[in-house]
Amino acid sequence: MSTSTALLDIADLSVGYGDIPVLRGISMHVESGEAVAIIGANGAGKTTLLRAISGLLRASSGQIRFAGGKISDLRADLIVNQGLVHCPEGRAILRRMSVRENLELGAYRLKEGATSADLDRIFELFPRLRERQSQLGGSLSGGEQQMLAIGRAMMAKPRMLLLDEPSLGLSPLMMKEVFRGLAQLKASGLTIILVEQNALAALKFSDRTYVLESGSIALQGASSSLISDPRVREAYLGSA
């Protein structure tokens, strides 16, 4: 029995692809209402960690608990049903469906389906999506697709949102708009894990940060302290 009260609690997690180990002995926790960032270089294992949390990859050892229950042996769809929703790297927009249909799909597990109040909430978060609701998903710009991916995840009414590289490939202006929406979600009390290669954006956004290096946690702490830590500055912020 764990005495932890964390919403998400990961203990000594190892994950690999076939015989190739990728994550080794990861322990981390996320409290309810926290925004936690995971930063690290290409190939550090950030996406692998999110995929393990959401049940798309199996742990080779260790345990993941969500809201007190063990989820590390649950099917991915059952994990989503508990309110842990993954907004994947690459966004996975349905290109031949409209913006509105993409959003409605996000609610397909809910008994009440997609209500107009839910859609309105997303349109308030990202007004561009309201303007473009009849447009095909595939015709959106990269930044608009990222807003749509976040909006679709929010339509599932998550208790915890897992975000994989929301800033990837976005112009500075679009990135600002996406992070404005994320800050609004954070302010509303949503629990968030943010995976980012853009370390500065992630450190500024989050309460706490874990630094992943070659599949292990190399550093962790309050984002406000890590942002001025020389090791972080040298390796991830391009200044010593």
Ligand X SMILES: Nc1ncnc2c1ncn2[C@@H]1O[C@H](COP(=O)(O)OP(=O)(O)OP(=O)(O)O)[C@@H](O)[C@H]1O
* Candidate ranges 35-43, 133-141, 178-186, 226-234; the one touching ligand X (CB under 6 A): 35-43
Residue of 45, 47, 66, 191 interacting with Mg ion (CB under 5 A): 47
Residue of 9, 24, 30, 48 interacting with ligand X (CB under 6 A): 48
Report what 201 binds from Mg ion, ligand X, none; CB cut-off 5-8 Å by kind: none
Residue of 45, 137, 151, 181 interacting with ligand X (CB under 6 A): 45
Query: Would you give the binding string for ligand X spanning residues 55-94, x where CB under 6 A is met?
Result: ----------------------------------x-----
* Candidate ranges 36-44, 114-122, 125-133, 179-187; the one touching ligand X (CB under 6 A): 36-44
* Candidate ranges 43-51, 75-83, 105-113, 151-159; the one touching ligand X (CB under 6 A): 43-51
Write the secondary structure of the chain as one string of H (helix), E (strand) and C (coil): CCCCCCCEEEEEEEEEECCEEEEEEEEEEECCCCEEEEECCCCCCHHHHHHHHCCCCCCCEEEEEECCEECCCCCHHHHHHCCEEEECCCCCCCCCCEHHHHHHHCCCCCCCCCCHHHHHHHHHHCHHHHHCCCCEHHHCCHHHHHHHHHHHHHHCCCCEEEEECCCCCCCHHHHHHHHHHHHHHHHCCCEEEEEECCHHHHHHHCCEEEEEECCEEEEEEEHHHHCCCHHHHHHHCCCC
